Amino acid sequence: MRIVVLVSGSGSNLQAVIDAAQSGDLPVEIAAVGSDKPEAYGLERARSAGIETFIAPLQKGATPEQRQEWNRRLGEAVLSFEPDVLVSSGFMRIVSAEFLDTLVRTDGQAVPMINTHPALLPSFPGAHAVRDALAHGVKVTGCTVHQVDSGVDTGPILAQTAVEVLPGDDEPTLHERIKTAERDLLNRVLAETARGEHTFS
């Protein structure tokens, strides 16, 4: 199964996928890694592993027309690698419904986009999930892998892992434990998808 991975930051989830793929534990080929940030360390992780990279920057304060053009450029870049699945992992951009509709390979196969999220959706969607969970005083949170749709973290849930909130947890300590669970969950979902165990809408 060929995948393209999108990252915005350090790419710790990406590294877990790279390691599992290189060891033979995960039956995927990472065709490319893309980012909206040229300085994203995830790109360096990919280059170190011999994986092609691409950059699709979006300028701050972009107009709707500029965002539409960015979605088009990102889609073209992704599709040039003919992936079976597009993986968003720590990619801090919201893509448009039009972007998702155009994710179709030259052979006519639709390319589903999946995303990792540091909470048990539908609770705590959005960019501040860990902070929001702590603010609400929950005793259990976790992580989710879901298909991306036109909403914000609203797509069909593929799998989840619970993570206990410990006494004294702050945002960094809780987020670190969630990220550890997230790496295992993402690899599990990718392996299941490669075996045909997930269907996508």
Active site amino acids:
117
Q: Which residues does residue 52 pair with via DSSP β-bridges, in sequence order?
A: 32
Tell me how far apart the alpha carbons of residues 172 and 109 are, in angstroms, rounded to a whole number.
40
24 residue type, one letter: G
**Strand 157-164 to 140-147 pairing:** antiparallel
Contact 49, 15 (CB under 8 A): no
DSSP structural state of residue 133: H
Backbone region of residue 196 per phi and psi (left: phi > 0; alpha: psi in -120 to 50; beta: other values)? left
Tell me how far apart the alpha carbons of residues 34 and 56 are, in angstroms, rounded to a whole number.
7
